[in-house]
Every structure is written in structure tokens, then in C-alpha cells.
Amino acid sequence: MNRPPEMIGKYKIIDLIATGGMGAVYKGVHPTLDCYVIIKKLTLRGNPDFAERFRREAKILMDFRNDNIVDIYDHFKEGRSHYIVLEYIDGLSLEQLIRRERYLSNDMALYIFREVCKALDYAHKRRVVHRDIKPANILISKKGEVKLVDFGIASSKEEDGEAGLTRDGMTLGSPSYMAPEQFENSRNVDQRADIYSLGVMLYESVTGKKPYPGGYTADLIAAITKGKHPAPRRLNPKVNRFVSSIVKKTMHPKPRRRYQNLTSLLRRLDRYFHRKPVEALKEQLKKAISGGTLESTPRKKLGKLRRFFSIALPVFFLLFLLLGSAYRSGWYQRLFLADSYGELRIALHLDHSYKEPKDLYLRGWLFADTGEDGTALDIDPIHFRLLPSEEREGDLNFVSRRVFLPSGDYRLKVQIENNLFWNTFRLHTIKEQHNLYQGEQGRTITLCTSSHTLPLSVDFFVQDCDTWVDITPISLIELKTGGRWTPWSDELAEGLTTGSVYRFRISAPGYTEKEFSLLIREDQSTLYLNPRLEKSKL
């Protein structure tokens, strides 16, 4: 196997995962997100259709944001190769899981099936048909997340470029999972073809066998068209009637006899899982993907044990909520940890803001001061809420929630828009703080910012209103200073700064002059003024 390159674009390459005649798949590192990514490479070999499908997969995924569909980070071309940068899923495909376990339990198969249905329902509602649903295209992470991948042959009703990629009579997909109508014409299939493939995937999940095994042959196509396959319960007697009924309806050879959309199917699945231990299933799946084995679905205990838990669990849950609330609000620390923990709050004062408070970027981080490099604390970043301002109009005051930490030395990093603050401080115990700060609760660190003006650069481009001809050379540009109009000059331009209102007058021989009064915010350091003048009416 060829040695992978050290870099592709801006991405550092860690490993070559797979390679083939049309391209390769690499594992890389995202330069700013600091996470692993998958980089799919397509090397053009004279067939523009493959490049177009590659581009379409990138375009479809760029518009998608769904927990059950793999994320895309980038799409670019380098040399003669095209690349897609995708979310890296650390885990197994459903195909690998079935091969390892032989088959899945009813509830586990339905749990994964429902997650895939959610992904496809999202795609279908955006008029995208996947056309290649199969266990190999379902990835399961070590966190128990189920992700749908590979939209390379998906069709979108929003695009007109489909005709060149799938001609009448052309077949796209994986034969064992394809709906009968997909063999006749892949171009015109709708979401019901995906629903059929979902049924095949569920069949294989609970039996470990494909309903129609084999390659692309006339016998295979004839069997799929007739809908003749062994019932799931003949291959695995443990398959329940609910699974059998879904397989039967989703895999009906006639599209009009299947589910017409996934909304009704998801409602059935939601009712099925209403009394099922869904979280326990997810935990089982996480353990299985991390190297464990799948077990039978946990059953709820009946009789006295069930009655005990029906009473005890709500009580324990209420106590848990009360203890959690006491811990978050600081009661617990003030009552029981006052000798070892300190209380901290961060306050921000902005004497002027050109943005709405909700649009400001305000974020803080805490580090243990352990020497040259601080150690980040295992707590969420600090967020801030707006307080009613008691200062002059335009001032903004923000405050963080109260943070309780063991007494010691810390570093504080706060970003307020493009201003970065670093503070080091010692956090005393709650008892010591009570004496140090005259009875106030905890220590408050206040950070203040003031607005800063920048040099303003102005660029003029004057045009004829009708012909758009450049008339800048014959135009007179004036700026109102000290109550009078002053012709534009380099000396005048050098004195302009942001955070002010400027009045410009533009005129030219044979044209009607125009005036502009412009408010320039502190962050707007370049002004492009492009007036179009109308010819004077004689």
C-alpha cells in the first residue's frame, strides 16, 4: 500500500484507511477543531459523472444538520483530485456489527432501525432520496450514535443535473437492497425505494441473512420483483410479530402497498418503544461497539419489586433533584465545604457597544495555576447574562453564574469580542471571603472594556447612473468639516477615524450632486462609497 501524504490541503494525514481505482479514504486531523476527520479523495479518470456525484454528495450534506446524518466540514479540489472532509465516526458499521453478533435482538435491531428512519425522514422532507440504504452505510459510534453516510448516489428534486447522471434504464444502488422499481429506472424512484431498503436492512439485522443474497443476476431481479423470500421467523424463531409486520410492509414489491412516508412508521416505532428501556439499549450498544457483546434486552421486574421501585424511584429522583439544585446554587458548599471551597463570580462592564447584547461574543474559561502552563478545569465555559444597566445610556453590564472551586491559585481567561483578558488570582475559602469582602458572598472579578477607534480608509468609485461609466476622474468629492465643505485630499483622509458620522458631497460637471451622511461604527475601518450620479436636466 502506498504511503499516505503528510498533508492534503490544510489537513494533516494520520492514516490511509482504504484505496481503490477511483480514489482513497484517509484519516486526518482538522487544523482548528482539533478532531479527527475522514477525507474522501476522488481521482478523475476521464469520467465527469463520478466527479459530479462527488460534488452532489458534498452539496447535499452541506445543507444537512441532523444528529443521525454524518456532518461534512469541507469540500475542495487540489490538483486533479476532489476531496470531501467528513465527520470521523469512531466505531463500527452496522454490517460489521451484524457479522460479529450473527444477528441482533428485536429491540436492538428496532432501536438502530428507528435512528436510521429519523435520518431518512429528515432527508425525505428536504426532497432527497438516498437510494443506497444498506448496513455498510450505517455507522455506530462508541457513544451509541447511529449515523447515516454516503449520499454519493442520492437524488434531489431541487437539482436539475440528475438527467446527466442517471439516464432512463440506468440502475444505481446495491442489488440485494434495491426496490423492484429501482432496477427498472433509478432516476425516477421516490422515498418509497428507501423505505423498501430499510425493510431489507431490518430483515438482515434480525436474521443475519439477506432476503435476496447473490450478485446482480436475472434470477435475483426476478425474485425481488415477485417479493418471494423466506419469512424472518423461519431463519430466526426469536423474531417477534412486530418486526415481521414492519418487514412485510416495508418490503412489499409494490410501492403503493408500502409505507408512503416515514412519519407514520416512526409513530409506530415510538409507540413500541414507549414502555421499553431505551437508555439501557443505548448503553448496551455503546458497550458492544467498544468491544463488548450484545445481551438480551433488559426486562422490567414485576410483582413486589416493581411496586417497590414504582414508589422508591420517584422519591430518589426528587432527592437527587434537590441535592443537585443545592449543589448548583451553592447551599451545599456554603454549609458543608466552607473551610475548603471558595465562591467566584465574573462581572463585565462595557462602556459602549455597537452590537445588540445578544450578538456579543462573551466567554470565559478557568485554569488551575500550576506553573508556566495552566491546567484547564473540567467545567463548562463561563457564560454571561445581561444585567439592567444603572449607568449612562449605551453601557452594558453582564455577570456570570456563581462558581464554587477548591481554594487555591487560578487563571481566568475572558474574551469580550476581540478583547482578550488574562487574570491570575487566589481564591480564598468561603469563611475567609466573608471576612475579606465585608460579608459579601464570594469574590467578584470585574473586567471593563472601552471602545477604541481605528483609522478609517475611504475608497470612492463614482459612476454615471445610466451607463455605469466611471466618472471618478472628473468628480469633485468634498467632506464637511467645521461647518464647511472641504475638497477631498490625502491630508484630509489621514485624519479620519472610526466611530463618527461623516458627510460627503459628490458632484461632477453635467451631473446632479449627491450628499451622504454616514455613521461609521468603531469596527468598520474601511468605507467603499460608490455613488451613481444622474445627468442634469437642462
Q: Same domain for 255 and 346? A: no
Q: Catalytic residue among 15, 74, 107, 132, which? A: 132
pLDDT above 60 (res 352): yes
The range of the structural domain enclosing residue 249 comes to 93-155+174-290
Q: How would you class 448 by CB atoms within 10 Å of its CB: exposed for 0-12, middle for 13-18, buried for 19 or more?
A: exposed
Query: What is the spatial distance between Cα 349 and Cα 327, in angstroms, rounded to a whole number?
Result: 28
DSSP 535: B
132 is catalytic: yes
Q: What angle do CA 122, 125, 129 make, to 5 degrees?
A: 85
This prediction's pTM: 0.54
- HEC per residue, 209-229: CCCCCCCCCHHHHHHHHHCCC
Q: Is residue 1 part of a domain?
A: no
Sign of CA dihedral 46, 50, 52, 54: negative
Closest to 140 in 3D by CA, of 297, 293, 269, 288: 288
Q: Same domain for 426 and 490? A: no
What torsion do the CA atoms of 228, 229, 232, 236 make, to the nearest 10 degrees? Answer: 150
- Tens digits of per-residue pLDDT, 294-304? 765 555 444 55
Q: Same domain for 270 and 383? A: no
pLDDT above 60 (res 196): yes
Q: Same domain for 54 and 101? A: no
Instruction: Taking residues 459-467, report their average pLDDT.
Output: 93
How far CA 145 is from CA of 166, 221, 267, 274, in Å, comes to: 33, 34, 21, 20
End position of a domain, from candidates 426, 448, 470: 448
Instruction: Taking residues 24-28, report their average pLDDT.
Output: 92
Query: Which amino acid does the sequence have at 452?
Result: H
At residue 329 the predicted structure's pLDDT band, cuts being 50, 70 and 90, is: low
pLDDT above 70 (res 455): yes
Q: Is residue 55 part of a domain?
A: yes
Closest to 246 in 3D by CA, of 110, 119, 355, 121: 110
Query: What is the spatial distance between Cα 509 and Cα 29, in angstroms, rounded to a whole number?
Result: 60
Q: Same domain for 384 and 279? A: no
Query: What is the spatial distance between Cα 219 and Cα 536, in angstroms, rounded to a whole number?
Result: 82
Average pLDDT over all residues of the chain:
85
- Tens digits of per-residue pLDDT, 332-350? 777 788 889 999 999 998 8
Q: Is residue 162 part of a domain?
A: no
Q: Which CATH number is 104's domain given?
A: 1.10.510.10
Instruction: Indicate the number of domains in the chain.
Output: 4
| Residues above pLDDT 90, as percent of the chain | 48
What would the DSSP string read from start to end of 167-194? -TT---S-GGG--HHHHH-GGG--HHHH
Q: Same domain for 132 and 217? A: yes
Query: What is the spatial distance between Cα 489 and Cα 34, in angstroms, rounded to a whole number?
Result: 49
